[in-house]
Amino acid sequence: MISSRAVVPDNGRPPRRARPGLTLAELLVTMVIVGIIGGAFTRMMVHQSRFMDAQNTNRQARSVSRGALNVMMSELRMVAAPGGVLAAGGDSILVRVPYAFGVLCGSTNVASTFSLAPMDSLAYSEGGATSYAWRDSTGNYTHQNANFTMGNGLVTDCAAAGITTLTRGKIVTVTPRVPVAAVSGTPVFLARRVQFKFAASAALPGRRALWRKNIGTGTSEELVAPFDASARFRFFVDGATASQVNPPAVLTTLRGLELRLAGASDRARLTSGSPSTAELQTAVFFMNRP
């Protein structure tokens, strides 16, 4: 007679049921699906990273161009013609920048006293005045450049001429004096010579920067960097509607400048291996030049 009782293993433990699991085919399908999803996610992350990198480097390049423009335009707009540009080239310009305006109070045998209008304190604190100018009866300005010295003046010197110096204005004396023909109330201004130049950067070795030099004080300042090699100055001359690459032989024929500020990012883009560039072009025309 056959018994229906379960067979007990030799170790006395009950038999275990087989656990469900993945077959080899199911495992391969799962790995393929995970690979497809992972690849798509990786491509999305790489694309997003490159997009953000392009945005950042482009923004850096635009910031360089705008920063240079903001600094230069405030001074270049003050340049008068003819005679405002003293030297010029594709990489550098030397200009005479008026920075303080006023009137003549009077003169002694050796010096003249000016009453200057209130100005930004930074305009005075920088120093470096290299010339003064007065307007003659024909409306033209004459500059005194050589052997020019300046000192503080007295309120009484201008009060005696019936000229009231405005609050926060400034009174100065200049030597040598203006010509005898200049009378009290004659418009005058102080000017400094400033050089803007594209040259090697000190902050970013191997790159190009825009520098500003106050000729009167001899101090140089790196304004902004880096720039692409294509950044340069171009020149508008009398009788021409377009700018030209080289400055004219006679600088008094200059009527304006074209600024080509090709800013660059400080690092290379991931996709190209070279810095991003952003060229900003603008023109500035000199005062008193039709």
DSSP the chain: ----SPPPPTTSPPPPPPPP---HHHHHHHHHHHHHHHHHHHHHHHHHHHHHHHHHHHHHHHHHHHHHHHHHHHHHTT-BTTT-EEEE-SSEEEEEEEEEEEEEEEE-SS-EEEEEPP--HHHHHH----EEEEE-TTS-EEEE-TT-EEEE--HHHHHTTT-PPPTT-EEEEEESPPPTT--TT-EEEEEEEEEEEEEE-SSSTTSEEEEEEETTTTEEEEEEEEE-TT-EEEEEETT-SS-BSSPPSSGGGEEEEEEEEEEEEEEE-TTTSSEEEEEEEEEEE-BT--
Please tell me the distance from the alpha carbon of residue 209 to that of residue 223, in angstroms, as a whole number: 7
Q: Quick one: tokens of 7? A: 């067979």
In whole angstroms, what is the distance from residue 290 CA to residue 222 CA? 33
Give ∠ CA 118-77-95 in degrees, rounded to 5: 100
The predicted pLDDT at position 45 comes to 81
> Which region holds residue 79: left if phi is over 0, alpha if psi is between -120 and 50, else beta?
beta
| pLDDT of res. 7 | 53
Distance of CA 30 to the CA centre of its chain: 57
* Predicted local confidence at residue 48, as pLDDT: 79
- pTM for the whole structure: 0.79
Do residues 54 and 277 lie in contact, with contact meaning Cβ atoms separated by under 8 Å?
no
- Termini Cα distance of the chain: 129
Rounded Cα–Cα distance for residues 37 and 49 (Å): 18
pLDDT of the residue at 1: 45
Find tokens 């010339």 and name the residue: 131
CA 225 to each of CA 58, 141, 205: distance values in angstroms, whole numbers, following the listed order: 14, 37, 10
Q: What is residue 86's predicted lDDT score, i.e. its pLDDT?
A: 92
pLDDT value for 273? 79
Task: Tell me phi and psi for residue 142, to 5 degrees.
Answer: -110, 135
Residue 193 CA, chain-centre distance (Å), reads 18
pLDDT of residue 15: 63
Amino acid 195: pLDDT = 95
- The pLDDT score that the predictor gives to residue 6 is 53
What residue ranges of the chain have pLDDT lower than 70? 1-22, 288-290
Question: According to the model, what pLDDT value does residue 91 have?
Answer: 94
